[in-house]
């Protein structure tokens, strides 16, 4: 039975790298994948999934009004199965709408194609993104991609910073940016707004991913 998967994390956990690697594994076995990314993501090039370690791939772009069920269904011949994709991948899945998450449920249930979504769980204020909220509720399997806070603990939150490296508390939920705009922190240091520095170490001596 095909499933809807959601891999979530804080910023800079390598979600796009994981996506591209998984798609490559399918291609290496002669299988076909479809890749999608959000039209909002213009950090490199619209319609391109790019990882921090240099991997990249072209992708379809979804906007708020894209019918994802129909778009996937139109990529192959449903009567003969010709060019039927073996897996669908979505980057920046936090930007999916409620309707679009349901459309992806239908892709898995009705078209019987696995759908793998990758995205952020929460924004800089600790609130769930709309797409992530529904994926957490409706996905068949949830996976966490982990990164670490400056203290060595698992980073589960993110803060937004300005050009001077100061934390921003208010603003729009969606502001596109990378390491120059966001820092991933553990819950403790997110709450205390403590960005640490290159020379600090956790006095508790916690190991990476200590929970």
pLDDT score of 87 more than 70: yes
CATH code (residue 71): 3.40.50.300
Give catalytic residue positions. Answer: 92
| In a domain? residue 84 | yes
Number of compact structural domains in the chain: 1
Does the predicted model carry a pTM greater than 0.85?
A: no
| In a domain? residue 33 | yes
Q: What is the 3-state secondary structure (H, E, C) of 123-165?
A: CCCCCECHHHHHHHHHCCEEEECCEECCCCCEECEEEEECCCC
pLDDT score of 6 more than 70: yes
pLDDT score of 178 more than 50: no
Query: Range of 86's domain?
Result: 4-145
| In a domain? residue 161 | no
pLDDT score of 175 more than 70: no
Residue of higher predicted confidence among 181 and 146 = 146
| In a domain? residue 183 | no
Residue 79 φ then ψ, to 5°: -75, -45
- 58 token code pair: 């072209």
| In a domain? residue 83 | yes
The model's confidence at residue 172, banded by pLDDT at 50, 70 and 90, is: low
The model's confidence at residue 174, banded by pLDDT at 50, 70 and 90, is: low
Q: What average pLDDT does this structure show over 76-83?
A: 89
| In a domain? residue 93 | yes
| In a domain? residue 207 | no
Residues 7-38: tens digit of each pLDDT: 998 877 788 899 999 999 999 999 999 999 99
| In a domain? residue 199 | no
Dihedral (Cα; 208, 21, 120, 176), 10-degree rounding: 110
Q: Which helix (DSSP H) or strand (DSSP E) does residue 22 occupy?
A: helix 15-28
* pLDDT of the residue at 147: 85
């Amino acid at each position: 039975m095909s499933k809807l998967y959601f891999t979530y994390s804080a910023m800079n956990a390598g979600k796009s790298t994981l996506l591209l690697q998984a798609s490559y594994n399918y291609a290496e076995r002669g299988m076909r994948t479809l890749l999608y990314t959000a039209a909002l993501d213009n950090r490199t090039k619209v319609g391109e999934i790019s990882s921090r370690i240099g991997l990249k791939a072209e992708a379809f772009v979804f906007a708020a009004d894209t019918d994802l069920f129909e778009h996937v269904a139109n990529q192959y011949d449903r009567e003969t199965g010709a060019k039927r994709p073996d897996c669908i991948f979505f980057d920046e899945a936090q930007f999916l709408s409620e309707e679009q998450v349901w459309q992806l449920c239908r892709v898995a249930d009705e078209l019987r194609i696995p759908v793998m979504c990758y995205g952020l769980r929460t924004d800089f204020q600790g609130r769930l993104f709309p797409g992530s909220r529904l994926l957490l509720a409706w996905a068949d399997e949830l996976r966490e991609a982990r990164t670490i806070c400056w203290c060595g603990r698992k980073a589960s939150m993110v803060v937004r910073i300005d050009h001077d490296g100061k934390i921003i508390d208010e603003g729009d939920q969606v502001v596109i940016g990378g390491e120059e705009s966001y820092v991933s922190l553990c819950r403790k240091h997110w709450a205390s707004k403590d960005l640490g520095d290159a020379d600090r170490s956790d006095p508790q001596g916690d190991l990476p991913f200590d929970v």
